[in-house]
Structure 1
Amino acid sequence: MAAKTKTTTKKKEPKHPDRDEFDLEEIANTLTKTMQEDKTKVFTIYKWEEPLTGAVTKMDANTKLIHIKDKYMNIHKVHFLDILKISDIDY
C-alpha cells in the first residue's frame, strides 16, 4: 500500500480586490461622468505601481474593460474591478 503524500495548497492571490456594492457604484458613476465631460483624471489601479493619468474614451459593458487614453495617446484597457480610486489631477 502506497503512502499518501500531503499536498500543500498555496493560497491564490485574488484576481481583483474585494469591495462592497456602494464603492463599485460610486466608481461607475465617476467613470460615466468623467467620460461624458471628457476630463483627465488620475486612476489608482490594483497591482500597478504607478497611477495612470488619462481620460476615459470607452466603457465596454461586455468585457468590463475601461479604455483610458493617456497623455501620449496610448490606450490602456483596465478591468473595471481593478480601478481602486479616481481622483483629480494635482498641478
Structure 2
Amino acid sequence: MAKSNIPKRPTRDEFELEELGNQLVEAKEDKDVRVLTVWGEAEKVRGRITVLDSRTRLVHVEDNCSIRKIPFLDIMRVSYA
C-alpha cells in the first residue's frame, strides 16, 4: 500500500487545547472580530465567533453575513484583528 502524502494535523496537549478554548470563549463573549489560523488553509479566517457548539465541536464564525463552521481541532491560533 502507498503511504498518504497528506500531512497530519499537529498534536497538542490538553493545556494548549484548554487555552485555545478559553480564547474562543472570551472572543465570543467580547463579540470582537478575531483572526483564526486554521490548519490546512492558506488564508486566515476573520470574523466574529457566534456559536461554540460543544456537541458537534464546531466553531461558528460570522463575517459579512456568512457563517463558516470550523472544527475546533483545526484551529491553530486565535489573534486580534
Residue 79 of structure 2 is aligned to residue 87 of structure 1: yes
**5+ residue gaps in structure 2?**
none
Alignment match of 2:53 (pick from 47, 60, 83):
60
| Alignment TM-score, normalising by the size of structure 1 | 0.81
2:28 corresponds in structure 1 to 35
Q: CA RMSD in A?
A: 1.3
Residue identity (%): 35
Structure number with bigger Rg: 1
Deviates more, 1:17-26 or 1:45-54: 17-26
Contact 1:17 1:82 in 2 (8 A): no
Q: How many residue pairs were aligned?
A: 80
Larger fraction in strand: 2
Paired residue type of 1:45 = V
Structure 1's consecutive aligned runs of 4 or more residues displaced over 2 angstroms after TM superposition are 11-14
SS at 2:70 equivalent: strand
User: How do 1:5-16 and structure 2 match up within 5 A?
Assistant: 8-11=1-4, 13-14=7-8, 16=9
| Alignment TM-score, normalising by the size of structure 2 | 0.90
2:65 corresponds in structure 1 to 73
